[in-house]
Chain A
């Protein structure tokens, strides 16, 4: 009996290795690579740094993941992040108490998400167009309201969420963890979560079996908008300022983290656990390239190439059955 068990185990070792997502291998390779190249990389301080830098991206990537699970896409999350931060800071400058101002920021994200959801669910716009338009609207309004420059706020309650610590854990990380927990509960413990997977797997089938697909899809974009608002407020708290271009391009990182984390565009497959690895990959990449001193000019091109290269490789290897 024992021998049989062992042979079965040895047999299944390769398939066990197959089951480790590619992103985990790439992540380990990257960490080893940067650790060898730069002595400052593999330190506790720097890992804390990466965690803080990755926190806002994590919140945004959670939003991207639930939207992509429904076979949608949100190209506006970076712009909503920017816009929400601007509204929060402007509200504080207008004399609103910090908690209320932050709430205003969150509500801004929620409202933008609701508009996205309306356009996708009831106006029947393709998600990439609805959210591309929203990117223009929210990003543009951020520029209009901030008069195209950075605006500042430093209420202690507000900045605590950016640079404060809970015990020893940095607040942005705490916020990301809470956001993860909430998303996890929604996705795996509520009917809403099952509908999200149903929308991505077979929307027509879900509709035929009586699921109110339009309302749930609307809900997905509202939730995604709210998360983008959370990201925007935390980002502004960290910088003690809101800047009209701070979120430019973040939606790409969030989408990339989702896809690298194994969530598929095709059939509502995947989930938020993989997205953590995707976010870690991008955060390590950005931090590592900084630490080894790659010129800033090169970073955008290199990171874009690595991300797209990884996505292409992932798709091709999966199709050939080399990866699961």
Chain B
């Protein structure tokens, strides 16, 4: 009885972990309200579809990045892998007599292959993830230039371009594909042992090893998935632009990592998840889109995105600590 008396009435206390969990939805709502108020074009159907279509490409990249970050790693190569996969896929698509699906498969496979290489370097050679993936980033970017030989590959088959520009039941194809990828990831994260292993490896590698989780396999799979997502996003990108060039994935790394961080996945591993990432990416895309609508010169994108990453991590850590302290305190 005394115990219950000592507790404050639950209704009056601000539950910080609750606030923390839903803070990104507040941020999203605030951002949408702000943008709707300052720019008349923001809440139009075309612009919303535009943002979601843009976000779906980044979200596919970000989903792969999320599972890597959950293992306390990082994949800095995704932008370059997207470029390389897009170009490899485009080259195969342009070959005579090759069916379209082979071209798409070549692009996606190329991404998965680079991802596998990252995974091997991190899991088997045990290089720090940011070194291994930074290295493959420059290699993939270099190979992309080699493949192009200074040209731009453009003008693809209509049926291929459908995956980037088409509609199914009035919904743009990229959004549908992103939903499918999300479904697959949701299944992996919540219904398979791999999902649990990813969290376990990120939270406490030693404990994970002792409880019989194959750490190497888990890490290799995480990086391979990330590469595969980059490959898929690369093919979608090419289909949408109807062209493949060496700068395809240049400005994607920062917003994608910012999206993952804004989505609440901890860079120290083991905490967060894919649902938050989708919200984080949408927040990021609204910011990018908003800067365009407000007529801010696009050269400001770099500084703003860099600052957002830093501020987001600081706020996230601060919120996490505050919530944890409250729980410990009572």
Interface of A toward B, CB cutoff 8 Å = 73, 75, 119, 123-126, 128-130, 132-141, 143-144, 147-148, 249, 252, 255-256, 259, 265, 297-305, 307-308, 311-312, 315-316
Contacts and interface: CB of A to CB of B under 8 A. Distances in A.
Interface in B102-153: 121, 125-128, 130-132, 134-136, 138-139, 141-143, 145-146, 149-150
B317 A124 contact: yes
B131 A259 contact: yes
Given A73-B130, A259-B131, A301-B139, A140 B306 contact: yes
A300 B254 CA distance: 22
Contacts of A138: 306
Contacts of A137: 302-303, 306-307, 310
A125 B76 CA distance: 17
Sorting the interface of chain B by its residue count into under 10, 10 to 19, 20 to 34 or 35 or more gives 35 or more
Main secondary structure of the interface of A (DSSP, over half): helix
19 contacts: A119-B310, A128-B74, A129-B261, A129-B267, A129-B309, A130-B310, A132-B76, A133-B310, A134-B310, A137-B303, A140-B303, A252-B134, A255-B131, A265-B128, A297-B149, A301-B139, A301-B142, A302-B142, A307-B135
A144 B310 CA distance: 19
Interface in B281-330: 297, 299-307, 309-310, 313-314, 317
B55 interface: no
Nearest to B138: A304
A304 B257 CA distance: 23
Nearest to A73: B130
Contact of B127 (A123, A125, A302, A315): A315
Contacts of A259: 131
Nearest to B309: A133
Main secondary structure of the interface of B (DSSP, over half): helix
Given A136-B254, A137-B302, A304 B139 contact: yes
Of the candidates B121, B131, B305, the one having the most CB atoms from chain A within 10 angstroms of its own CB is B131
A254 B135 CA distance: 12
Nearest to A300: B142
Contact of A140 (B136, B257, B300): B300
A117 B11 CA distance: 42
B255 to A, nearest CB: 10
B34 interface: no
B267 A126 contact: yes
A297 B146 contact: yes
A312 B123 CA distance: 12
Nearest to B300: A144
A312 B127 contact: yes
Nearest to B121: A312
B135 A304 contact: yes
Given A136-B254, A137-B307, A301-B142, A125 B301 contact: no
A215 B287 CA distance: 35
Interface in B12-44: none
Given A128-B74, A129-B261, A133-B313, 5 more contacts: A125-B310, A129-B74, A129-B257, A135-B306, A303-B142
B101 interface: no
Given A126-B268, A312-B121, A132 B309 contact: yes
B130 A128 contact: yes
Contacts of A315: 125-127
A39 to B, nearest CB: 27
Contacts of B135: 252, 256, 304, 307-308, 311
Contacts of A140: 299-306
